Amino acid sequence: MTTPTTLVSVDEYLSTSYRPDVDYVDGHLEERHGGEKSHGQMVGKLWLLLRQMPGVFAFMETRTQVLPDRYRVPDVCAYLDQEPDQQVFTTPPYLCIEVLSPTDRMSRALRVTQDYLQMGVNKVWIVDPLDEAVYVWDQAGRFYMVTGEIGTTDGRGVIPLGTTFGGRQ
Q: What is the CATH number of the domain that holds 84?
A: 3.90.1570.10
Distance in angstroms (rounded) separating the CA atoms of residues 2 and 62? 21
**26, part of any domain:** no
Question: Does 152 map to a domain?
Answer: yes
> Is residue 135 situated within a structural domain?
yes
User: What pLDDT shows up at residue 20?
Assistant: 83
Q: What is the mean pLDDT of the chain?
A: 87
Residue 103 structural domain:
33-164
Q: Does the residue 130 lie in any domain?
A: yes
Residue 6 pLDDT > 80, yes or no? no
Residue 5 has pLDDT above 70, yes or no: no
Specify if 7 maps to a domain: no
Residue 28 lies in a domain: no
Task: Kindly tell me if the per-residue pLDDT of 167 is higher than 90.
Answer: no
The answer to whether residue 164 scores a pLDDT higher than 90 is: no
The separation between CA 41 and the C-alpha centre of its own chain, rounded to angstroms, equals 14
Query: Given pLDDT bands bounded at 50, 70 and 90, which one contains residue 3?
Result: very low
- Residue 58's pLDDT is 96
* Least confident window among 56-70, 82-96, 111-125, 127-141: 127-141
Res 109 pLDDT > 70: yes
pLDDT in tens, 11-24: 999 999 988 889 99
Of the ranges 38-47, 67-76, 99-108, which one carries the lowest mean pLDDT score? Answer: 99-108
Number of structural domains the chain divides into? 1
Burial class of residue 121, CB neighbours in 10 A (0-12, 13-18, 19+): buried
Has residue 122 been placed in a domain? yes
| 95-99 and 123-128 beta bridge pairing | parallel
